[in-house]
């Protein structure tokens, strides 16, 4: 069984990005500059944004954090987005999700200028992805593609099963896996909450991607021996043995799955760190080659 180490792969990619930033600096280019808007005090969101800002420092990017209170009005948030759109010193920015219930996420994401939308969530970038045109790709599925590539996992002609149809993970994942590229050329089945006979389908997967948000949902019996298992889930579960009283775990029962899988990503240390690396890569691309 091969452990697909997203943490070390992410650090390796960050080293490559850092080297490119230094090379560009030598040619007189400014540092790439990523901004993030965060609304409210959701601890998970704060932690994710903190990791992104730290990663910027590591690779020599500039970063700006715009912090808004939970009670911010949608109009104010849209004004902040517009300010970043118009700030020429900012190459790309993200709006950390989820937003409070009184704010329309989609309206905010659509306000981001597509050539600064390094999360790849704007309909223009989503459309480009579905048409196979250049544009920013969402960081989590493109991080998974990068892992498959760097671990030299054969994808052509394989059956990939994606569980979860979200706009930021499951749906773009199916597009990336099915396109005529390497990695790619998979036959893809997209499963979701209304899928019948899920286990029958997952047992035919050469590559199984779980993006559900339910701890240990994928068990050993759902896995074809030798399959590649990619666990996107990040779930906090109680763990009295930890000082904090809880720990993070994936959508896959790692221990059981490891007994049958050919290769598997851990949680933490799998897909999560790759998401950050791909966000940095998108930001560098925004600096070098605007969409
Ligand atoms: P989401 O809640 O938007 O979507 C969950 C999907 O799971 C839905 O499409 C739903 O149809 C499907 N689903 C729910 N119950 C199901 C069932 N019983 N059978 C089959 N399908 C079912 O979630 P999301 O935003 O795609 O995130 C999924 C998970 O991935 C979460 O744990 C999230 O925290 C994590 N995540 C991780 C990263 C990362 O960087 N590693 C990035 C984004 C999301």
Domain limit, last residue, from 81, 114, 147: 114
Q: Please tell me the distance between residue 177's alpha carbon and the centre of ligand 1 in angstroms.
A: 18
Question: Which of 79, 114, 149 is the endpoint of a domain?
Answer: 114
Q: Are residues 218 and 162 in the same domain?
A: yes
pLDDT digits (tens, 9 = 90+) for 3-19: 999 999 999 999 999 99
Do 100 and 189 belong to one domain? no
Atom of ligand 1 nearest to the CA of 271: 41
Percent of the chain with pLDDT over 90: 99
- Mean pLDDT across the stretch 167-191? 98
Cis preceding linkage at 268, omega within 30:
yes
Within-domain flag for 11? no
pLDDT above 60 for 31? yes
Same domain, 197 and 110: no
Q: Which position among 5, 14, 91, 96 bears the catalytic label?
A: 96
Instruction: Tell me, yes or no, whether 108 and 205 share the same domain.
Output: no
Say yes or no: 191 and 258 in one domain: yes
pLDDT in tens, 207-241: 999 999 999 999 999 999 999 999 999 999 999 99
| Residues 6+ away with beta carbon under 8 Å from 175 | 129, 130
List, for residues 35-56, the tens digit of each pLDDT value.
999 999 999 999 999 999 999 9
* C-alpha 108 – ligand 1 centre gap (Å): 21
Cα 163 to averaged position of ligand 1 atoms, centre (Å): 8
Parent domain of 184: 139-272
Which atom of ligand 1 lies nearest, measured to the CA of 165? 9
Domain contains 290: no
Q: Is-catalytic flag, 119?
A: yes
Q: Report the pLDDT averaged over residues 251-278.
A: 98
Q: Look at the block and give the residue holding tokens 């960050």.
A: 14
Q: 235 and 143: one domain? A: yes
Quick one: 219 and 259 in the same domain? yes
The pLDDT of 193-218, averaged and rounded, is 98
Minimum-distance ligand 1 atom for the alpha carbon of 250: 32
CA distance 232 to 235: 10
Q: Same domain, yes or no, for 194 and 249?
A: yes
Same domain, 261 and 157: yes
Q: How confident is the model at residue 182, as a pLDDT?
A: 98
Does residue 233 lie in a domain region? yes
Per-residue pLDDT band for 289 (boundaries 50, 70, 90) equals low
Cβ burial, residue 291 (10 Å; 0-12/13-18/19+): middle
Among the listed residues 87, 32, 44, 93, the one whose alpha carbon sits nearest the alpha carbon of residue 65: 93
> What CATH number corresponds to the domain at position 246?
3.40.50.720
Question: One of 52, 116, 158, 224 is an active-site residue; which one?
Answer: 52
In a domain, 93, yes or no: yes
pLDDT tens-place string over residues 120-153: 999 999 999 999 999 999 999 999 999 999 999 9
Please indicate, yes or no, whether residues 255 and 150 belong to a single structural domain of this protein. yes
Q: Are residues 103 and 150 in the same domain?
A: no
Residue from 4, 55, 96, 193 to probe ligand 1 pocket by mutation (most atoms less than 8 Å from CB): 193
Q: Could you give the angle at the alpha carbon of 13 between the alpha carbons of 129 and 276, nearest 5°? A: 60
Q: Examine the pLDDT at 96 and tell me if it is beyond 80.
A: yes
How far apart CA 190 and CA 163 sit, in angstroms, is 6
**Mean per-residue pLDDT over the chain, rounded:** 97
* Cβ–Cβ < 8 Å for 250, 26: no
Catalytic one of 5, 115, 117, 119 = 119
Residue labelled with tokens 């230094």: 22
Q: Is residue 225 part of a domain?
A: yes
Percent of the chain residues past pLDDT 70, beyond the cut: 99
Q: Does 146 lie in the same domain as 250?
A: yes
Give Cβ neighbours of residue 108 (< 8 Å, ≥ 6 apart): 74, 77, 78, 81, 95, 99
Cα distances (angstroms) measured from residue 161 to each of 78, 195, 251, 252, 277: 37, 12, 14, 14, 24
Instruction: For residue 212, give the ligand 1 atom closest to its CA.
Output: 7
Site residues for ligand 1, CB cut-off 6 Å: 140, 163-166, 168-170, 191-193, 195, 198, 211-213, 232-235, 271-272, 275
Catalytic site includes residue 41: no
List the CATH number of the domain containing 63.
3.40.50.10860
Asked, for residue 44, whether it belongs to a domain, the answer is: yes
Q: Is-contact 282 93, C-beta < 8 A?
A: no
pLDDT at position 290 over 60: no
Q: What pLDDT was estimated at residue 118?
A: 98
Q: What's the total number of domains in the chain?
A: 2
CA 270 to ligand 1: nearest atom: 41
Q: Whose CA is nearest to atom 34 of ligand 1?
A: 234
Report which of 191, 184, 216 is spatially closest to residue 205, judged by C-alpha positions.
191
Which of 163, 158, 140, 128 is CA-nearest to residue 226? 158
Domain boundary among 114, 130, 152: 114
Residue 52 catalytic?
A: yes
- The Cα angle at residue 29 between residues 28 and 31, in degrees rounded to 5: 130
Residue 202 pLDDT level (bands cut at 50, 70, 90): very high
Q: Which residues pair with 159 in a beta bridge?
A: 187
Whether residue 46 lies inside any domain: the answer is yes
DSSP 184-228: ---EEEEE-TT-SSHHHHHTT-SEEEE-S--TT-B-GGGS-TT-E
Ligand 1 atom 5: the closest Cα is on which residue?
212
Q: Is residue 219 part of a domain?
A: yes
């Amino acid at each position: 069984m091969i452990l697909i180490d997203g943490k070390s792969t992410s650090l390796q990619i960050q080293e490559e990005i850092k080297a490119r930033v230094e090379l560009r600096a030598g040619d007189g280019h400014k540092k790439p500059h990523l901004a993030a808007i965060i609304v409210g005090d959701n601890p998970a969101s704060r932690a994710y944004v903190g990791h992104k800002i730290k990663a910027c420092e590591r690779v020599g990017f500039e970063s700006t954090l715009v912090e808004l209170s939970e009670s911010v009005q949608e109009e104010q948030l849209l004004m902040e987005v517009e300010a970043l759109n118009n700030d020429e010193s900012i190459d790309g920015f993200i709006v950390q999700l989820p937003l409070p219930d009184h704010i329309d996420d989609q309206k905010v994401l659509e306000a981001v200028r597509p050539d600064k939308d390094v999360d790849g969530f704007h309909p223009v970038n989503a459309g480009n992805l579905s048409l196979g045109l250049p544009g920013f790709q969402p960081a989590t599925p493109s991080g998974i593609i990068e892992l498959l590539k760097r671990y030299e996992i054969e994808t052509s002609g394989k059956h990939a099963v994606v569980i979860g149809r979200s706009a930021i993970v499951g749906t773009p994942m199916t597009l990336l896996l099915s396109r005529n590229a390497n990695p790619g050329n998979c036959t893809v089945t997209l499963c979701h909450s209304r899928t019948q006979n899920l286990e029958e389908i997952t047992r035919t997967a050469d590559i199984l991607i779980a993006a559900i948000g339910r701890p240990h949902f994928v068990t050993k019996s759902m896995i074809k021996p030798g399959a590649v298992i990619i666990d996107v889930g990040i779930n906090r579960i109680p763990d009295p043995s930890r000082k904090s009283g809880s720990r993070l775990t994936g959508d896959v029962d790692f221990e059981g799955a490891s007994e049958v899988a050919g290769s598997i990503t851990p949680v933490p240390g799998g897909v999560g760190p790759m998401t950050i690396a791909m966000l940095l890569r998108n930001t560098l691309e925004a600096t070098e080659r605007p969409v």
